[in-house]
Amino acid sequence: MKATQRKQETSRPQLTSWERKVDQELAEISAAIDFLYLLQPDNLKEIETSFLLDRSTEEPTFSYGRPPAYLKKLRERLMALPLSKVNDPILKELFQTERATIVTTISMLSKRGSPKFLQDSIKLYGSPDENLTRTAFTILEAFPGKSKGPLKNDYLEAQEFADCASKEINLYRKRHPFIESAVQVDEQLSSILVSGGNLSIGSSARVPRCRTEATIAHEVGVHLVTFWNGSQQPLSILSGGLSSYEELQEGLAVFSEYLAGGLTRNRLRTLAARVVAVQRMLEGRSFVAVFQELTEEFGLGERIAFDNTVRVFRGGGMTRPAVYLRGLIWILEYVKAGGDLEILLTGKLGIEHIPVVQELMKRGLVTKPVVYPRLLRNAAARARLTRAREGMNVIDLVADL
């Protein structure tokens, strides 16, 4: 019997048939949307060649195909959900918010390449406030100069990293046979991402050897672990992600990089540069101007600067890249205040959902995590967590390594 079947059977006494129907429909619809994949410009390889190899200074124009036809059908399914049949006020509000988030996500995908895309991006991910922007500049000032990346032989190529990630997942699978996640190298991608419980690695992506464990801690130890735990919950929507889950999720993932001993100054500079890039984009700066600032003013390598400028400008303007640093700052405050990391591992939830999940745990609608990050067994990682609980800022994270 599959784990999903076991999970559904144990949830039957706890959820009414209408609650279960809405929950499963929302989870299925969310899982059917490969959001980050669909944001990948069709002509990214050509732009990359023109910009980095041919040294073009022309403003790139991203092209996208027509939005997939299935998005319209998914939206129709969303609007037909029997939310009026859900009487539990907490679940009803949770479902309503989740539906609104998915509707906005579908709306964004239908507006790729248009100024209206940015409006929806701000609606979903917010925009950098003054404090976040100030912190980003503080980081860039604390670690000035040109980024000195590893030498060629100090990188893992895409397939090498995929092999490392597969070995890590297999270690989890030995303890938890229900895990079915796969790892693939994707010719259409330039980055690393988790989607639908699988790990995809862009064929041109490279990982510094010194950051291998940190990257695995980020992608497998947080993104996949929370997916696996969410898949075992009575509430299916915890596997795909509740509304606005990205800030907490990415903040926890970056914090795990620190616990693994791999949150380097270059990595922290990159996260800070993303915030600045988002702010500049919102101010009306061009792709070329932002790329030049990241390389000439802040010393990012051209490849890293290009990839992160693409992150910000794809679709028509994405504010999502700013959530990494914002989430990390929140996690540091949460840990210092004695916050329980266990609840953050129950699934993919947002910051505002913590009290809701705590209430649902009392009622048996959310259970404790089944899978825990292997990193937490490491003595050095536990020591770093102890120091973080004593109080640290983002600069301290690099100084502590």
Length of the chain measured in residues: 401
Nearest to 216 by CA among 250, 262, 249: 262
Q: Classify residue 176 as exposed, middle or buried by CB count within 10 Å of its CB (0-12, 13-18, 19+).
A: middle
At residue 195, the 3 state secondary structure works out as strand
* Distance separating alpha carbons of residues 64 and 42, to the nearest angstrom: 6
Name the token pair of 303.
Answer: 């490849």
Domain containing residue 249: 3-399
| pTM, rounded to two decimals | 0.93
* Distance separating alpha carbons of residues 11 and 13, to the nearest angstrom: 6
Name the token pair of 144.
Answer: 């000035």
Name the token pair of 242.
Answer: 């509740």
Q: What is the pLDDT along the chain (401 residues), one digit of tens a residue?
A: 334 444 544 434 479 999 999 999 999 999 999 898 899 899 988 998 888 888 888 999 999 999 999 999 999 999 999 999 999 999 999 999 999 999 999 999 999 999 899 999 999 999 999 999 999 999 999 998 765 555 556 899 999 999 999 999 999 999 999 999 999 999 888 889 998 899 999 998 999 999 999 999 999 999 999 999 999 999 999 999 999 999 999 999 999 999 999 999 999 999 999 999 999 999 999 999 999 999 999 999 998 999 999 999 999 999 999 999 999 999 999 999 999 999 999 999 999 999 999 999 999 999 999 999 999 999 999 999 999 999 999 999 997 76
Number of independent structural domains in the chain? 1
